Amino acid sequence: MNCKRYFTGALAAFMVASSAFMTYADGPVANGTDPAGLTSAPGETAGAGNGTTGVTAAETAAPAPASGAQSSGSQTVTVGGNAAASGTVTAGGSSTAGNGTVTAGSSTVAAGSSTVTSGGTTSSGSTVTVGGQTGPAVAVGSGTITVGSGQVAGAAAGPGGVAVPSVIGAGDLSFAGQLTDPIVKVTEKYSYDQMSRDISSLKSRYGSHMQVNTIGNSLDGRSLYEIVIGNQNASKHILIHAGIHAREYMTPLLVMKQSEHLLAFYDSGSYQGRSLSDILSGVAIHIVPMLNPDGITISQFGVSALRSSSLRQTVSQCYAQDQADGRTTQSFDRYQALWKANGRGVDLNQNFPALWDSITTGPSHASYANYKGTSALSEPESQALANLANSRNWSLTISYHSMGNLVYWDFAGNKVAEQSKVLADLVTGISGYRTNGSSGKGGFKDYVQTKDNPIPSLTIEVGSVACPMPASEFGNVWNSNQAILAALAAYAADH
Ligand SMILES: [Zn+2]
């Protein structure tokens, strides 16, 4: 490579700060592009995500030279990095002090005249133009929100915003300040066991506004919970699920925090001038926070955390076969962390009867990812969700996945395309995410859009770094999705 060319432009500006250069050396590892060693890399990373394609390389494949960097001076970081002062971040990063400019999915944390143009957070004196939030926790200035889901502490909500009391609590993340004593806490690995305890605690604290059901059990004997918030006897019902893909375990954390906030602000919060209690008197929100607890357990803690010895053996067999096929070159530890399937190696979101017979893209054997199973609905987890989907007339349903900051709304043979597109426009207007049609087969969204008695449906792909995502990404995910359930409930109430 020609060195003069190499040192031109933004890269040169970036590299002149030696401290920044040193941290850059570690950047691609920390914010990396996994699963680099997986030769048929699946999932919500580059390539065929979630049984769908269209996640652009920009989110995952680090197209810019300064990808994943941390810098401490007056810096330009182009993808996924952090500029510590007076920085310019163009995607997925944060500028922590000074006159930061962030153009997508990011946050500026401290003082200065900050500008966020898409999906971000600023904590003072700032302007957010799309889908963002001016945060409640620190020295809030005169924030302006022109589109989307923001909130300003102690002030009226912006358009599309949720007004919440400006209670400031501990924590250095903007959302942490909104509840004085949150039950659901952000952790690196939000586990099935923790979630189960949190559901019990929410029930104890907010029992009058919620109901907890079990819609089935996983192969390894874990409960598939359903939380219902709002009027159980309402005429409108909406269905949200998360955690169907194992390594996407930030999505259960997201919907649990969404649930807690709905409950905490049930009697005092509002959405677009309507009280939440009024909205939820006419709509019940059903949330299945973790449809694949076995797979999530594998991804977070490895097979030793499984109860069944035969399932532990299956995972080991998957690894051997995927190695033999060249589907992985990872260590066994990393292979488990990248697990996407259920406890016996079936990708649950390729297991629904939506052109299932014609799925030919995955392996012919159980695997960490992309194996469609022996037949549609062969798995107890996919069966349980299909049964729930067919148990009543739903106004709409949302599937939370990661990653890509994308909303998928269509499928071949979609019987509710128009309604689904309206929902997509609603969600992207709040979140700042992009829309995409769809591709891939066998997904839950695909199924409910094409079945008898079809349901308007979206898949929302949260986050902008590879799965499993670090907890540091949660702030961005939260900012884009905090108001989504209230918005969907209000929409359902009106339609
Ligand atoms: Zn997924």
Selection from 32-36, 123-127, 413-417 with the highest mean pLDDT: 413-417
Whether residue 185 is predicted with pLDDT greater than 70 in this model: the reply is: yes
Distance between Cα 83 and ligand 1 center (Å): 30
**Confidence (pLDDT) at 268:** 86
* Residues 349-354, mean pLDDT to the nearest whole number: 98
**Confidence (pLDDT) at 398:** 98
* Residues 380-397, mean pLDDT to the nearest whole number: 98
Whether residue 29 is predicted with pLDDT greater than 80 in this model: the reply is: no
**Confidence (pLDDT) at 278:** 94
Question: Which residues are tagged catalytic?
Answer: 461
Bigger pLDDT: 346 or 139?
346
Distance between Cα 49 and ligand 1 center (Å): 7
Hey, what are 19's tokens? 């401290």
Distance between Cα 459 and ligand 1 center (Å): 9
* Residues 39-53, mean pLDDT to the nearest whole number: 31
Which band of pLDDT confidence, cut at 50, 70 and 90, is reported for residue 327?
A: very high
Instruction: Give 202-224 pLDDT, tens digit per residue.
Output: 999 999 999 999 999 999 999 99
**Confidence (pLDDT) at 179:** 81
**Confidence (pLDDT) at 455:** 98
**Confidence (pLDDT) at 45:** 31
Give me the domains of the chain, ranges plus CATH numbers: 3-164 (no CATH), 182-495 (3.40.630.10)
Distance between Cα 44 and ligand 1 center (Å): 6
Residues less than 5 Å from ion ligand 1, measured at CB: 50, 245, 248, 401
Bigger pLDDT: 337 or 178?
337
Whether residue 105 is predicted with pLDDT greater than 90 in this model: the reply is: no
**Confidence (pLDDT) at 22:** 25
